């Protein structure tokens, strides 16, 4: 099977968006031969399984007039638009059985695919109209309004024209069906997935009796920043005022911390701040519980899947846990100060047996192997032989 992957964000293993695209390409390349169009990425990510067909370049130096024109008349909200226009007619579309696109905000790509009589599957990372509006609602900047307008206009057409959609969450499926009226036959669900992690047994690894709480994320992203500040002010400080809570040790690890967060961290006991860690592995490996105190933002939070991949249970808000199975037994939903405190006080040392149980659940629902299986079903649904039977080269 020959697949053309088109993305205007590169795959990687740092941000949630990069990881989501890495998941797509890894899953596709395990099920077929993938040619890639998009921004450049580390060539070691996929070995020889992915061929870089065209590398797109960002037009960050475009004039303000040019960007506004793209927003209003081309409905294009990406700095890669002109780079795409230069290569779109150089693609040999006849080589491909299916085309896979990241994000539901690029109607100009969907249109070009259909112009060349190919079926296109879109991976819906967010409901882009909602995502764009939430940014504009916070900033109230003209640039962000134009981006929201572009997202909304594009997404409406993409939802009408694309042949299939891979959603991350059931909540986004419900929103899209209500907002755009897409058919159930076009809808597939494949949540955020991560690679499995090997963790050294804790049985003889450490002797301290502290319970290690971990929080991570991009600390200059407003929902993360507000959520961590809220947790420190209303949960951590209250825990310190109660008896026998010195055993709870909090580590916050992430990049882009604001002065406000750093000053607050340094004012509270038993809080360790790790600025821009090169490797998150030792912090997840050492954690007994992961906390996600996010109250706003769209889509699945990839750090929750990362925590589960290490076999670490999660305490989080409804917003932080969107898309995750609440019946797993290792996820606790909390939304208020007292609920957070109560859940943390019930937390004990994470045993090797408990970690193994969580990793078994993770492997079934949120591992890369599970994503590969779901994409196999999706691709077989769309790619048919001339005689009407589904291709099956897996």
Domains and CATH numbers, the chain: 2-193+367-382 (3.40.50.2000), 211-365 (3.40.50.2000)
Residues 158-203: tens digit of each pLDDT: 999 999 999 999 999 999 999 999 999 999 999 999 999 988 776 5
Query: According to the model, what pLDDT value does residue 297 have?
Result: 80
Long-range contacts of 135-141 (CB under 8 A, 24+ apart): 138/222
Classify burial at 41, counting beta carbons within 10 Å of its beta carbon; exposed 0-12, middle 13-18, buried 19 or more. buried
Does the pTM surpass 0.85? The reply is yes
Query: According to the model, what pLDDT value does residue 192 have?
Result: 95
159 near 182, Cβ under 8 Å? yes
User: What is the SS3 assignment for 139?
Assistant: helix
Residues 130-143: tens digit of each pLDDT: 989 988 988 899 88
Query: According to the model, what pLDDT value does residue 246 have?
Result: 72
Residues 13-26: tens digit of each pLDDT: 888 889 999 999 99
pLDDT at 63 over 70: no
pLDDT at 8 over 50: yes
Q: Could you write out the three-class secondary structure of the chain?
A: CEEEEECCCCCCCCCHHHHHHHHHHHHHHHHCEEEEEECCCCCCCCCCCEEEEEECCCCCCCCHHHHHHHHHHHCCCCCCHHHHHHHHHHCCHHHCCEEEEECCCCHHHHHHHHHCCCCEEEEECCCHHHHHHHHHHHHCCHHHHHHHHHHHHHHHHHHHHCCEEEECCHHHHHHHHHHHCCCHHHEEECCCCECCCCCCCCCCCCCCCCEEEEEECCCCCHHHHHHHHHHHHHHHHHHHHCCCCCCEEEEEEECCCCHHHHHHHHCCCCEEEEECCCCCHHHHHHCCEEEECCCCCCCCCHHHHHHHHCCCCEEECCCCCCCCCCCCCCEEECCCHHHHHHHHHCCCCCCHHHHHHHHHHHHHHCEHHHHHHHHHHHHHHHCECCCCCECCCC
Query: According to the model, what pLDDT value does residue 206 have?
Result: 54
Confidence of residue 78 (pLDDT cuts 50, 70, 90): confident
């Amino acid at each position: 099977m020959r697949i053309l992957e088109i993305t205007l964000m590169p795959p990687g293993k740092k941000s949630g968006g990069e990881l989501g695209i890495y998941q797509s390409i890894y899953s596709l390349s395990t099920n077929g031969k993938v040619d890639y169009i998009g921004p450049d990425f580390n060539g070691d990510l996929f070995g020889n399984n992915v061929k870089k067909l065209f590398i797109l370049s960002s037009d960050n130096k475009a004039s303000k007039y040019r960007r506004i024109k793209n927003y209003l008349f081309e409905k294009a909200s990406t700095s890669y638009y002109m780079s795409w226009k230069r290569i779109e007619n150089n693609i040999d579309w006849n080589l491909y059985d299916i085309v896979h696109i990241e994000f539901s905000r690029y109607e100009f790509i969907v249109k070009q695919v259909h112009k060349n009589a190919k079926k296109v599957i879109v991976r819906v990372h967010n409901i882009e109209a909602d995502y764009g509006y939430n940014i504009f609602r916070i900033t109230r900047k003209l640039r962000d309004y134009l981006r929201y307008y572009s997202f909304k206009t594009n997404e409406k057409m993409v939802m009408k024209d694309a042949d299939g959609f891979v959603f991350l969450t059931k909540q986004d499926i419900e929103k899209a069906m209500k907002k755009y009226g897409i058919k159930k036959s076009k809808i597939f669900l494949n949540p955020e997935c991560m690679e499995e992690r090997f963790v050294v047994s804790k049985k003889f690894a450490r002797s301290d009796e502290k319970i290690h709480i971990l929080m991570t994320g991009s600390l200059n992203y407003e929902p993360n920043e507000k959520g961590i500040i809220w947790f420190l002010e209303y949960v951590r400080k209250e825990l310190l005022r109660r008896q026998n809570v010195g055993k709870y040790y909090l580590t916050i690890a992430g990049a882009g911390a604001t002065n406000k967060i750093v000053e607050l961290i340094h004012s509270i006991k038993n809080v360790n701040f790790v600025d821009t860690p090169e490797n998150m592995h030792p912090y997840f490996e050492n954690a007994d519980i992961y906390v996600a105190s996010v109250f706003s933002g769209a889509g699945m939070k990839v750090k929750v899947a990362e925590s589960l991949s290490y076999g670490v249970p999660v305490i989080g808000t409804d917003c932080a846990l969107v898309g995750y199975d609440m019946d797993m037994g290792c996820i606790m939903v909390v939304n208020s100060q007292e609920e957070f405190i109560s859940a943390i006080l019930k937390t004990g040392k994470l045993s090797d047996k408990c970690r193994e149980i969580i990793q078994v659940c993770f492997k079934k629902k949120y591992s890369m192997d599970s994503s590969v299986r779901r994409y196999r079903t999706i691709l077989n649904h769309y790619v048919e032989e001339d005689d009407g039977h589904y291709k099956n080269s897996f």
